[in-house]
A and B are shown apart, each in its own frame.
Chain A
Protein backbone atom coordinates (compact mmCIF):
# COMPACT_ATOMS: atom_id res chain seq x y z
CA UNK A 1 0.00 0.00 0.00
CA UNK A 2 2.65 2.44 1.03
CA UNK A 3 6.00 2.42 -0.62
CA UNK A 4 8.97 3.85 1.20
CA UNK A 5 11.72 5.33 -0.91
CA UNK A 6 14.34 7.99 -0.55
CA UNK A 7 14.15 11.29 -2.41
CA UNK A 8 13.86 12.44 -5.18
CA UNK A 9 10.17 11.54 -5.39
CA UNK A 10 9.14 13.63 -8.34
CA UNK A 11 10.55 12.24 -11.52
CA UNK A 12 10.51 13.57 -15.03
CA UNK A 13 9.28 11.39 -17.83
CA UNK A 14 12.58 11.98 -19.62
CA UNK A 15 14.94 9.05 -19.14
CA UNK A 16 18.54 8.71 -20.18
CA UNK A 17 17.67 6.50 -23.18
CA UNK A 18 15.04 8.97 -24.48
CA UNK A 19 17.44 11.89 -24.21
CA UNK A 20 20.37 10.03 -25.69
CA UNK A 21 18.48 8.57 -28.63
CA UNK A 22 17.05 12.02 -29.41
CA UNK A 23 20.59 13.40 -29.40
CA UNK A 24 21.52 10.54 -31.73
CA UNK A 25 18.65 11.45 -34.05
CA UNK A 26 19.70 15.10 -34.02
CA UNK A 27 23.10 14.03 -35.35
CA UNK A 28 21.60 12.12 -38.28
CA UNK A 29 21.24 15.10 -40.69
CA UNK A 30 24.99 15.72 -40.40
CA UNK A 31 25.61 11.99 -40.81
CA UNK A 32 23.58 12.07 -44.01
CA UNK A 33 25.57 14.98 -45.39
CA UNK A 34 28.79 13.15 -44.44
CA UNK A 35 27.80 10.20 -46.61
CA UNK A 36 26.76 12.54 -49.43
CA UNK A 37 30.04 14.52 -49.30
CA UNK A 38 32.56 11.81 -48.47
CA UNK A 39 30.87 8.69 -49.84
CA UNK A 40 30.30 5.26 -48.40
CA UNK A 41 33.58 5.42 -46.44
CA UNK A 42 31.96 7.90 -44.05
CA UNK A 43 29.19 5.38 -43.36
CA UNK A 44 31.74 2.65 -42.61
CA UNK A 45 33.55 4.97 -40.20
CA UNK A 46 30.34 5.86 -38.37
CA UNK A 47 29.20 2.24 -38.13
CA UNK A 48 32.60 1.09 -36.83
CA UNK A 49 32.81 3.82 -34.21
CA UNK A 50 29.26 3.36 -32.96
CA UNK A 51 29.63 -0.42 -32.97
CA UNK A 52 32.95 -0.32 -31.14
CA UNK A 53 31.67 2.15 -28.54
CA UNK A 54 28.56 0.11 -27.74
CA UNK A 55 30.53 -3.15 -27.69
CA UNK A 56 33.21 -1.70 -25.39
CA UNK A 57 30.59 -0.41 -22.98
CA UNK A 58 28.81 -3.77 -23.00
CA UNK A 59 32.00 -5.80 -22.46
CA UNK A 60 33.26 -3.61 -19.60
CA UNK A 61 29.88 -3.61 -17.85
CA UNK A 62 29.60 -7.38 -18.32
CA UNK A 63 33.09 -8.09 -17.01
CA UNK A 64 32.75 -5.79 -13.99
CA UNK A 65 29.29 -7.26 -13.30
CA UNK A 66 27.58 -3.88 -13.36
CA UNK A 67 24.16 -3.10 -14.74
CA UNK A 68 24.34 -3.27 -18.51
CA UNK A 69 23.24 0.02 -20.06
CA UNK A 70 25.20 -0.22 -23.29
CA UNK A 71 22.06 0.35 -25.34
CA UNK A 72 20.96 3.53 -23.53
CA UNK A 73 22.23 5.51 -26.49
CA UNK A 74 25.02 7.34 -24.71
CA UNK A 75 27.75 5.07 -26.05
CA UNK A 76 26.21 5.27 -29.52
CA UNK A 77 26.28 9.09 -29.33
CA UNK A 78 29.91 9.04 -28.20
CA UNK A 79 30.82 6.72 -31.09
CA UNK A 80 28.99 8.82 -33.66
CA UNK A 81 30.52 12.06 -32.37
CA UNK A 82 33.98 10.53 -32.52
CA UNK A 83 33.37 9.41 -36.10
CA UNK A 84 32.26 12.97 -36.91
CA UNK A 85 35.66 14.13 -35.63
CA UNK A 86 37.91 12.10 -37.91
CA UNK A 87 38.99 12.43 -41.51
CA UNK A 88 37.30 10.31 -44.17
CA UNK A 89 40.58 8.54 -44.92
CA UNK A 90 41.30 7.32 -41.39
CA UNK A 91 41.87 3.55 -41.34
CA UNK A 92 38.91 1.81 -39.72
CA UNK A 93 41.03 0.05 -37.09
CA UNK A 94 42.31 3.40 -35.85
CA UNK A 95 38.77 4.74 -35.59
CA UNK A 96 37.75 1.61 -33.65
CA UNK A 97 40.75 1.96 -31.33
CA UNK A 98 39.81 5.59 -30.67
CA UNK A 99 36.25 4.53 -29.90
CA UNK A 100 37.40 1.87 -27.45
CA UNK A 101 39.67 4.39 -25.74
CA UNK A 102 36.90 6.99 -25.59
CA UNK A 103 34.53 4.64 -23.78
CA UNK A 104 37.07 2.76 -21.65
CA UNK A 105 39.33 5.60 -20.47
CA UNK A 106 37.05 8.57 -21.14
CA UNK A 107 34.01 7.14 -19.39
CA UNK A 108 34.08 3.69 -17.77
CA UNK A 109 37.20 4.36 -15.71
CA UNK A 110 35.14 6.97 -13.85
CA UNK A 111 32.28 4.55 -13.29
CA UNK A 112 30.17 5.18 -16.39
CA UNK A 113 27.56 7.66 -17.46
CA UNK A 114 27.23 10.92 -15.57
CA UNK A 115 30.55 10.65 -13.78
CA UNK A 116 33.16 11.40 -16.39
CA UNK A 117 35.09 14.68 -16.21
CA UNK A 118 35.96 14.96 -19.90
CA UNK A 119 33.75 14.53 -22.95
CA UNK A 120 34.47 10.90 -23.97
CA UNK A 121 34.28 11.52 -27.73
CA UNK A 122 36.84 14.30 -27.43
CA UNK A 123 39.05 12.11 -25.26
CA UNK A 124 38.95 9.63 -28.14
CA UNK A 125 39.81 12.33 -30.64
CA UNK A 126 42.71 13.71 -28.56
CA UNK A 127 44.02 10.15 -28.21
CA UNK A 128 43.87 9.64 -31.98
CA UNK A 129 45.48 13.04 -32.64
CA UNK A 130 48.40 12.19 -30.37
CA UNK A 131 48.71 8.62 -31.65
CA UNK A 132 48.25 8.97 -35.40
CA UNK A 133 48.93 12.64 -36.19
CA UNK A 134 49.54 12.04 -39.89
CA UNK A 135 46.40 10.00 -40.56
CA UNK A 136 44.29 12.36 -38.45
CA UNK A 137 45.34 15.52 -40.28
CA UNK A 138 45.23 14.32 -43.89
CA UNK A 139 41.86 15.34 -45.23
CA UNK A 140 39.98 14.25 -48.33
CA UNK A 141 37.30 15.25 -50.76
CA UNK A 142 35.14 12.87 -52.75
CA UNK A 143 35.71 13.16 -56.49
CA UNK A 144 33.61 10.75 -58.58
CA UNK A 145 33.57 8.16 -55.84
CA UNK A 146 37.29 8.32 -55.05
CA UNK A 147 38.78 10.09 -52.04
CA UNK A 148 41.33 12.71 -53.09
CA UNK A 149 43.61 14.31 -50.52
CA UNK A 150 43.05 18.03 -50.08
CA UNK A 151 43.77 20.64 -47.37
CA UNK A 152 40.94 22.00 -45.23
CA UNK A 153 40.05 25.70 -45.46
CA UNK A 154 41.51 26.30 -41.99
CA UNK A 155 44.72 24.53 -43.03
CA UNK A 156 45.01 26.74 -46.10
CA UNK A 157 44.47 29.77 -43.89
CA UNK A 158 47.07 28.60 -41.36
CA UNK A 159 49.75 28.04 -43.96
CA UNK A 160 48.95 31.39 -45.51
CA UNK A 161 49.05 29.91 -48.98
CA UNK A 162 47.52 31.71 -51.93
CA UNK A 163 45.05 28.91 -52.69
CA UNK A 164 41.53 30.35 -52.86
CA UNK A 165 39.39 29.82 -49.78
CA UNK A 166 36.03 28.20 -50.31
CA UNK A 167 33.03 30.51 -50.22
CA UNK A 168 30.60 30.99 -47.37
CA UNK A 169 27.88 29.10 -49.23
CA UNK A 170 30.05 25.99 -49.59
CA UNK A 171 31.01 26.26 -45.91
CA UNK A 172 27.33 26.43 -45.04
CA UNK A 173 26.33 23.44 -47.17
CA UNK A 174 29.41 21.42 -46.28
CA UNK A 175 30.87 20.16 -49.52
CA UNK A 176 34.55 20.70 -48.66
CA UNK A 177 37.38 18.69 -47.02
CA UNK A 178 37.35 18.30 -43.25
CA UNK A 179 36.33 15.90 -40.51
CA UNK A 180 33.32 13.99 -41.82
CA UNK A 181 30.68 15.36 -39.46
CA UNK A 182 31.83 18.93 -39.04
CA UNK A 183 31.56 20.37 -42.53
CA UNK A 184 27.85 21.06 -42.95
CA UNK A 185 26.72 24.02 -40.85
CA UNK A 186 23.21 23.59 -42.27
CA UNK A 187 22.83 19.96 -41.16
CA UNK A 188 24.32 20.69 -37.74
CA UNK A 189 21.93 23.60 -37.21
CA UNK A 190 18.97 21.37 -38.07
CA UNK A 191 20.21 18.95 -35.40
CA UNK A 192 20.69 21.80 -32.94
CA UNK A 193 17.06 22.87 -33.56
CA UNK A 194 15.92 19.39 -32.53
CA UNK A 195 17.93 19.60 -29.29
CA UNK A 196 16.59 23.08 -28.55
CA UNK A 197 13.02 21.97 -29.29
CA UNK A 198 13.39 19.00 -26.96
CA UNK A 199 14.89 21.34 -24.34
CA UNK A 200 18.10 19.32 -23.92
CA UNK A 201 20.40 22.25 -24.53
CA UNK A 202 20.13 25.96 -24.00
CA UNK A 203 21.56 28.72 -26.16
CA UNK A 204 23.94 29.86 -23.45
CA UNK A 205 26.99 27.70 -24.18
CA UNK A 206 26.74 27.60 -28.01
CA UNK A 207 26.05 31.32 -28.39
CA UNK A 208 28.67 32.56 -25.95
CA UNK A 209 31.16 30.17 -27.58
CA UNK A 210 30.42 31.21 -31.16
CA UNK A 211 30.20 34.93 -30.38
CA UNK A 212 33.55 34.81 -28.57
CA UNK A 213 35.22 33.13 -31.55
CA UNK A 214 33.63 35.66 -33.90
CA UNK A 215 34.85 38.58 -31.80
CA UNK A 216 38.34 37.22 -31.30
CA UNK A 217 38.88 36.34 -34.95
CA UNK A 218 37.38 39.66 -36.09
CA UNK A 219 39.68 41.65 -33.82
CA UNK A 220 42.89 39.66 -34.09
CA UNK A 221 42.43 37.41 -37.13
CA UNK A 222 43.00 39.87 -39.95
CA UNK A 223 46.15 40.57 -41.89
CA UNK A 224 45.41 44.30 -42.15
CA UNK A 225 45.70 45.16 -38.49
CA UNK A 226 43.06 44.88 -35.79
CA UNK A 227 39.35 44.53 -36.60
CA UNK A 228 39.97 43.15 -40.09
CA UNK A 229 39.52 39.41 -39.51
CA UNK A 230 37.10 37.31 -41.54
CA UNK A 231 34.96 36.24 -38.57
CA UNK A 232 32.22 34.69 -40.69
CA UNK A 233 34.74 32.36 -42.30
CA UNK A 234 36.04 31.38 -38.85
CA UNK A 235 32.67 30.53 -37.36
CA UNK A 236 31.49 28.60 -40.44
CA UNK A 237 34.63 26.51 -40.89
CA UNK A 238 36.27 23.77 -38.88
CA UNK A 239 34.60 21.99 -35.99
CA UNK A 240 33.14 25.04 -34.27
CA UNK A 241 29.46 24.34 -35.04
CA UNK A 242 29.78 20.66 -34.16
CA UNK A 243 31.70 21.47 -30.97
CA UNK A 244 29.58 24.38 -29.82
CA UNK A 245 26.17 22.73 -30.33
CA UNK A 246 26.88 19.06 -29.62
CA UNK A 247 30.03 18.64 -27.54
CA UNK A 248 30.40 21.72 -25.35
CA UNK A 249 26.74 21.27 -24.37
CA UNK A 250 27.20 17.73 -23.05
CA UNK A 251 25.19 17.75 -19.81
CA UNK A 252 27.69 15.71 -17.84
CA UNK A 253 30.82 17.69 -18.63
CA UNK A 254 29.54 21.27 -18.70
CA UNK A 255 28.64 23.58 -15.78
CA UNK A 256 25.21 23.42 -14.18
CA UNK A 257 24.61 27.12 -13.47
CA UNK A 258 23.63 29.69 -16.12
CA UNK A 259 26.53 32.02 -15.45
CA UNK A 260 28.87 29.05 -15.32
CA UNK A 261 27.66 27.94 -18.74
CA UNK A 262 28.25 31.37 -20.24
CA UNK A 263 31.74 31.48 -18.72
CA UNK A 264 32.33 27.97 -20.09
CA UNK A 265 31.34 29.07 -23.61
CA UNK A 266 33.51 32.17 -23.45
CA UNK A 267 36.47 30.12 -22.21
CA UNK A 268 36.04 27.61 -25.05
CA UNK A 269 35.86 30.49 -27.52
CA UNK A 270 39.00 32.14 -26.20
CA UNK A 271 41.09 28.96 -26.26
CA UNK A 272 39.77 27.96 -29.71
CA UNK A 273 40.69 31.37 -31.12
CA UNK A 274 44.12 31.38 -29.47
CA UNK A 275 44.93 27.96 -30.97
CA UNK A 276 43.55 28.89 -34.40
CA UNK A 277 45.30 32.25 -34.60
CA UNK A 278 48.60 31.63 -32.85
CA UNK A 279 48.90 27.91 -32.08
CA UNK A 280 50.52 25.05 -33.96
CA UNK A 281 47.26 23.35 -34.96
CA UNK A 282 44.83 24.85 -37.50
CA UNK A 283 41.86 23.88 -35.32
CA UNK A 284 41.42 24.05 -31.55
CA UNK A 285 37.77 23.26 -30.87
CA UNK A 286 38.28 19.84 -29.35
CA UNK A 287 41.24 20.86 -27.18
CA UNK A 288 39.47 23.96 -25.93
CA UNK A 289 36.42 21.98 -24.83
CA UNK A 290 38.63 19.41 -23.08
CA UNK A 291 40.50 22.14 -21.21
CA UNK A 292 37.28 23.82 -20.16
CA UNK A 293 35.89 20.43 -19.06
CA UNK A 294 38.80 20.32 -16.62
CA UNK A 295 37.76 23.70 -15.19
CA UNK A 296 34.09 22.80 -14.70
CA UNK A 297 34.51 22.06 -10.96
CA UNK A 298 35.75 25.63 -10.54
CA UNK A 299 33.05 27.18 -12.72
CA UNK A 300 30.38 25.33 -10.74
CA UNK A 301 31.93 26.54 -7.53
CA UNK A 302 32.41 30.20 -8.49
CA UNK A 303 28.91 30.61 -9.87
CA UNK A 304 27.18 28.50 -7.28
CA UNK A 305 23.92 30.16 -6.20
CA UNK A 306 24.20 31.77 -2.81
CA UNK A 307 21.83 31.20 0.03
CA UNK A 308 19.82 34.23 1.02
CA UNK A 309 21.99 36.44 3.18
CA UNK A 310 25.10 34.35 2.64
CA UNK A 311 28.26 36.34 2.19
CA UNK A 312 30.81 35.77 -0.50
Chain B
Protein backbone atom coordinates (compact mmCIF):
# COMPACT_ATOMS: atom_id res chain seq x y z
CA UNK B 1 0.00 0.00 0.00
CA UNK B 2 2.68 2.48 1.04
CA UNK B 3 4.79 1.37 -1.92
CA UNK B 4 1.83 1.89 -4.27
CA UNK B 5 1.19 5.37 -2.87
CA UNK B 6 4.88 6.24 -3.16
CA UNK B 7 5.02 5.11 -6.78
CA UNK B 8 1.85 7.09 -7.49
CA UNK B 9 3.63 10.13 -6.03
CA UNK B 10 6.79 9.70 -8.12
CA UNK B 11 4.71 9.01 -11.21
CA UNK B 12 2.53 12.10 -10.94
CA UNK B 13 5.12 14.54 -9.67
CA UNK B 14 8.12 13.46 -11.74
CA UNK B 15 8.18 10.64 -14.29
CA UNK B 16 4.69 11.21 -15.66
CA UNK B 17 4.39 14.84 -14.60
CA UNK B 18 1.10 16.19 -15.89
CA UNK B 19 2.71 19.08 -17.72
CA UNK B 20 6.10 17.78 -18.81
CA UNK B 21 5.15 14.25 -19.84
CA UNK B 22 1.37 13.98 -20.12
CA UNK B 23 0.85 17.44 -21.59
CA UNK B 24 -2.23 18.23 -19.54
CA UNK B 25 -2.67 21.84 -18.54
CA UNK B 26 -0.30 23.37 -21.10
CA UNK B 27 -2.37 26.53 -21.58
CA UNK B 28 -2.13 27.79 -17.98
CA UNK B 29 1.43 26.47 -17.83
CA UNK B 30 2.50 28.67 -20.70
CA UNK B 31 0.13 31.53 -19.85
CA UNK B 32 0.57 31.93 -16.10
CA UNK B 33 4.20 30.88 -15.61
CA UNK B 34 5.73 34.27 -16.34
CA UNK B 35 5.87 35.28 -12.68
CA UNK B 36 6.37 33.25 -9.52
CA UNK B 37 3.59 34.82 -7.50
CA UNK B 38 0.65 34.11 -9.81
CA UNK B 39 2.18 30.74 -10.74
CA UNK B 40 2.07 29.73 -7.10
CA UNK B 41 -1.52 30.75 -6.49
CA UNK B 42 -2.68 29.28 -9.78
CA UNK B 43 -1.08 25.97 -8.79
CA UNK B 44 -2.69 26.14 -5.38
CA UNK B 45 -6.08 26.63 -6.98
CA UNK B 46 -5.41 23.71 -9.35
CA UNK B 47 -4.46 21.39 -6.47
CA UNK B 48 -7.65 22.39 -4.65
CA UNK B 49 -9.90 21.81 -7.66
CA UNK B 50 -8.16 18.56 -8.64
CA UNK B 51 -8.63 16.97 -5.22
CA UNK B 52 -12.21 18.15 -4.99
CA UNK B 53 -13.06 16.96 -8.51
CA UNK B 54 -11.39 13.62 -7.95
CA UNK B 55 -13.65 13.03 -4.95
CA UNK B 56 -16.95 13.94 -6.55
CA UNK B 57 -16.32 12.41 -9.98
CA UNK B 58 -15.28 9.16 -8.32
CA UNK B 59 -18.54 9.08 -6.38
CA UNK B 60 -20.54 10.11 -9.44
CA UNK B 61 -19.02 7.41 -11.64
CA UNK B 62 -19.13 4.54 -9.18
CA UNK B 63 -22.46 5.23 -7.49
CA UNK B 64 -24.56 6.80 -10.22
CA UNK B 65 -23.20 6.16 -13.71
CA UNK B 66 -21.92 2.58 -13.33
CA UNK B 67 -24.96 1.03 -11.56
CA UNK B 68 -27.28 2.55 -14.16
CA UNK B 69 -25.22 1.62 -17.20
CA UNK B 70 -24.59 5.27 -18.06
CA UNK B 71 -20.81 5.05 -18.59
CA UNK B 72 -21.11 6.87 -21.91
CA UNK B 73 -22.25 9.95 -19.98
CA UNK B 74 -18.80 10.17 -18.38
CA UNK B 75 -17.39 13.05 -20.42
CA UNK B 76 -20.53 15.19 -20.34
CA UNK B 77 -21.27 14.67 -16.66
CA UNK B 78 -17.67 15.09 -15.51
CA UNK B 79 -17.16 18.40 -17.24
CA UNK B 80 -20.45 19.71 -15.87
CA UNK B 81 -19.60 18.56 -12.36
CA UNK B 82 -16.17 20.17 -12.57
CA UNK B 83 -17.62 23.41 -13.92
CA UNK B 84 -20.23 23.61 -11.17
CA UNK B 85 -17.73 22.57 -8.50
CA UNK B 86 -15.44 25.40 -9.53
CA UNK B 87 -18.40 27.78 -9.46
CA UNK B 88 -19.31 26.57 -5.99
CA UNK B 89 -15.78 26.80 -4.65
CA UNK B 90 -15.68 30.30 -6.04
CA UNK B 91 -18.84 31.34 -4.17
CA UNK B 92 -17.99 29.58 -0.91
CA UNK B 93 -14.53 31.08 -0.95
CA UNK B 94 -15.88 34.54 -1.63
CA UNK B 95 -18.14 34.33 1.44
CA UNK B 96 -15.88 32.53 3.88
CA UNK B 97 -12.32 33.35 2.84
CA UNK B 98 -12.42 36.69 1.02
CA UNK B 99 -8.68 37.22 1.40
CA UNK B 100 -7.86 33.93 -0.27
CA UNK B 101 -10.51 34.62 -2.89
CA UNK B 102 -8.80 37.83 -3.85
CA UNK B 103 -5.58 35.97 -4.71
CA UNK B 104 -7.03 32.72 -6.10
CA UNK B 105 -10.30 34.05 -7.48
CA UNK B 106 -9.12 35.18 -10.88
CA UNK B 107 -7.65 31.75 -11.64
CA UNK B 108 -10.72 29.73 -10.75
CA UNK B 109 -12.71 30.39 -13.95
CA UNK B 110 -9.60 29.53 -15.97
CA UNK B 111 -9.48 26.13 -14.33
CA UNK B 112 -12.90 25.01 -15.56
CA UNK B 113 -11.55 24.36 -19.01
CA UNK B 114 -8.12 23.29 -17.79
CA UNK B 115 -7.67 19.90 -19.36
CA UNK B 116 -5.52 18.79 -16.43
CA UNK B 117 -8.57 18.69 -14.16
CA UNK B 118 -10.79 16.72 -16.53
CA UNK B 119 -7.68 14.70 -17.36
CA UNK B 120 -7.03 13.59 -13.80
CA UNK B 121 -10.64 12.57 -13.25
CA UNK B 122 -10.76 10.53 -16.46
CA UNK B 123 -7.37 9.02 -15.64
CA UNK B 124 -8.63 8.00 -12.19
CA UNK B 125 -11.47 6.06 -13.80
CA UNK B 126 -9.15 4.51 -16.42
CA UNK B 127 -6.65 3.43 -13.79
CA UNK B 128 -8.77 2.46 -10.81
CA UNK B 129 -11.97 1.06 -12.31
CA UNK B 130 -11.40 -2.29 -13.98
CA UNK B 131 -14.14 -4.20 -15.84
CA UNK B 132 -16.91 -2.11 -14.34
CA UNK B 133 -15.68 -2.56 -10.79
CA UNK B 134 -13.65 -0.24 -8.61
CA UNK B 135 -10.31 -1.73 -7.55
CA UNK B 136 -9.76 -1.97 -3.82
CA UNK B 137 -8.53 1.31 -2.41
CA UNK B 138 -9.61 2.98 -5.63
CA UNK B 139 -11.18 5.96 -3.90
CA UNK B 140 -8.06 6.68 -1.86
CA UNK B 141 -5.83 6.32 -4.92
CA UNK B 142 -8.05 8.68 -6.89
CA UNK B 143 -7.96 11.37 -4.25
CA UNK B 144 -4.21 10.97 -3.86
CA UNK B 145 -3.72 11.06 -7.62
CA UNK B 146 -5.67 14.33 -7.64
CA UNK B 147 -3.35 15.68 -4.96
CA UNK B 148 -0.10 14.43 -6.53
CA UNK B 149 -1.07 15.53 -10.02
CA UNK B 150 -1.72 18.99 -8.59
CA UNK B 151 1.63 18.92 -6.82
CA UNK B 152 3.33 17.91 -10.08
CA UNK B 153 1.61 20.84 -11.75
CA UNK B 154 2.93 23.09 -9.00
CA UNK B 155 6.49 21.75 -9.28
CA UNK B 156 6.57 22.38 -13.03
CA UNK B 157 4.93 25.80 -12.67
CA UNK B 158 7.31 26.97 -9.96
CA UNK B 159 10.51 25.80 -11.69
CA UNK B 160 9.30 27.30 -14.94
CA UNK B 161 8.33 30.66 -13.46
CA UNK B 162 11.70 30.91 -11.67
CA UNK B 163 13.50 30.33 -14.95
CA UNK B 164 11.25 32.65 -16.94
CA UNK B 165 11.75 35.51 -14.49
CA UNK B 166 15.48 35.08 -15.02
CA UNK B 167 15.10 34.92 -18.81
CA UNK B 168 13.17 38.19 -18.72
CA UNK B 169 16.31 40.15 -17.98
CA UNK B 170 18.27 38.37 -20.71
CA UNK B 171 18.48 39.61 -24.26
CA UNK B 172 17.13 36.46 -25.91
CA UNK B 173 17.37 35.99 -29.69
CA UNK B 174 14.19 37.50 -31.12
CA UNK B 175 12.63 34.33 -32.57
CA UNK B 176 12.73 32.64 -29.17
CA UNK B 177 11.34 35.42 -26.99
CA UNK B 178 8.14 34.62 -25.12
CA UNK B 179 6.39 31.35 -25.81
CA UNK B 180 9.02 29.51 -27.92
CA UNK B 181 11.70 29.69 -25.22
CA UNK B 182 9.14 28.47 -22.67
CA UNK B 183 8.67 25.33 -24.76
CA UNK B 184 12.41 24.80 -25.18
CA UNK B 185 12.98 25.15 -21.43
CA UNK B 186 10.08 22.76 -20.81
CA UNK B 187 11.70 20.29 -23.24
CA UNK B 188 15.00 20.49 -21.36
CA UNK B 189 13.20 20.09 -18.01
CA UNK B 190 11.36 17.10 -19.38
CA UNK B 191 14.71 15.65 -20.54
CA UNK B 192 16.20 16.07 -17.07
CA UNK B 193 13.17 14.63 -15.27
CA UNK B 194 13.69 11.47 -17.32
CA UNK B 195 16.52 10.76 -14.88
CA UNK B 196 13.92 9.63 -12.35
CA UNK B 197 12.66 6.92 -14.72
CA UNK B 198 12.34 3.59 -12.99
CA UNK B 199 12.30 5.06 -9.48
Q: Do A and B touch (CB < 8 Å)?
A: yes
Q: Pick the contact of B195 from A109, A110, A275 — CB < 8 Å?
A: A275
Chain B residues whose C-beta falls within 8 Å of the C-beta of A301 in the assembled complex: 162
How far does the Cβ of B14 sit from chain A's closest Cβ, in whole Å? 10
Determine whether the beta carbon of A111 is less than 8 Å from that of B170: yes
- Give residues of chain A (91-147) contacting chain B, Cβ–Cβ below 8 Å: 105-106, 108-111, 115, 117-118, 123, 126-127, 129-130
A50 beta carbon closer than 8 Å to chain B: no
Number of interface residues of A (CB under 8 A): 34
Contact in complex: B198, A280 (CB < 8 Å): yes
Q: C-beta contact mask, B160-199 vs A, less than 8 Å → 1, else 0?
A: 0011011100111100100001001101110111111111
The dominant DSSP class at the B interface is: helix
Interfacial chain B residues near A295, Cβ < 8 Å: 159, 162
CB pair B162–A105 under 8 Å, yes or no, is no
Return the contact of B199 from the options A126, A274, A288 (Cβ within 8 A).
Answer: A274
Measured CB to CB, the nearest residue on chain A to B165 is A297
- The verdict on A168 contacting chain B, using a C-beta distance below 8 Å, is no
CB nearest to B173 among chain A residues: A111
Query: Known contacts A109-B176, A111-B170; is A279 also within 8 Å of B199 by CB?
Result: yes
Q: Contacts of A110 on B, CB cut-off 8 Å?
A: 167, 170, 172, 176, 181
Residue with the greatest number of chain B CB neighbours at <10 A, chosen from A127, A130, A279: A279
Q: Is A200 an interface residue (CB 8 A)?
A: no
Answer whether residue A223 sits at the interface, using C-beta atoms and an 8 A cutoff. no
B162 touches A275 (CB 8 A): no
Q: How far is the CA of A106 from the CA of B171 in the complex (A)?
A: 16
Q: How far is the CA of A117 from the CA of B170 in the complex (A)?
A: 11
A291 in the interface (beta carbon within 8 A): yes
Asked if residues B193 and A291 are in contact (CB atoms below 8 Å), the reply is: yes
Distance of B190 from chain A, by nearest CB (Å): 9
Task: State the CA gap A175–B198 with chains docked (Å).
Answer: 29
Known contacts: A130-B191, A295-B159, A295-B162. The answer to whether A275 contacts B196 by CB under 8 A is yes
Residues in B36-63 with C-beta less than 8 Å from chain A? none
A44 within 8 A of B: no
Shortest Cβ distance from residue B167 to the other chain A in the assembled complex, whole angstroms? 7
List chain A residues, Cβ under 8 A from B184.
105, 109
Total number of A-B contacts with CB less than 8 angstroms?
87
Chain A, interface SS category: helix
**B197 engages A281 (CB within 8 Å):** yes
Known: A294-B192, A297-B165. A279 touches B198 (CB 8 A): yes
Given known contacts A109-B173, A294-B163, is B195 in contact with A278 (CB within 8 Å)? no
Q: Is the CB of A287 within 8 A of B162?
A: no
Closest B residue by C-beta to A283: B195
Identify the closest chain B residue to A286 (Cβ): B195
Tell whether A224 is near chain B: CB-to-CB under 8 Å. Answer: no
A290 CB–B CB distance under 8 Å: yes
Closest to A284 in B: B195
A118 with B196: CB separation less than 8 A:
no
Chain A CB within 10 Å — which of B181, B184, B196 has the most?
Answer: B196
Task: Judge whether B188 and A118 touch: CB under 8 Å.
Answer: yes
Nearest neighbor of A108 in chain B, beta-carbon distance:
B173
Residues of A within 8 A of B199 (CB): 274-275, 278-280
Q: Contact partner of A287 among B159, B171, B176, B192, CB < 8 A?
A: B192
Chain A residues whose C-beta falls within 8 Å of the C-beta of B166 in the assembled complex: 117, 297
Shortest distance in angstroms between A267's beta carbon and chain B's nearest beta carbon?
13
B188–A123 contact, CB under 8 A? yes
| Nearest-Cβ distance from residue A238 to partner chain B, whole angstroms | 13
CB distance from A136 to the nearest CB of B (A): 12
The answer to whether B197 and A280 have CB atoms under 8 Å apart is: yes
Q: Does A161 contact B (CB under 8 A)?
A: no
Interface residue? A298 (CB, 8 A): yes
- By a beta-carbon cutoff of 8 Å, the part of chain B in contact with chain A is 158-159, 162-163, 165-167, 170-173, 176, 181, 184-185, 187-189, 191-199
Q: Give 6 CB contacts A-B under 8 Å.
A: A111-B172, A111-B173, A279-B199, A294-B162, A297-B166, A301-B162
Q: Which 6 A-B pairs have the closest CB atoms?
A: A280-B198, A287-B195, A290-B192, A297-B162, A126-B191, A280-B197
Known: A110-B170, A123-B188, A279-B198. 17 other contacts (CB 8 A): A106-B188, A109-B176, A110-B172, A110-B176, A115-B170, A115-B171, A118-B188, A126-B194, A271-B195, A275-B196, A279-B195, A279-B196, A290-B191, A290-B195, A298-B158, A298-B162, A301-B162
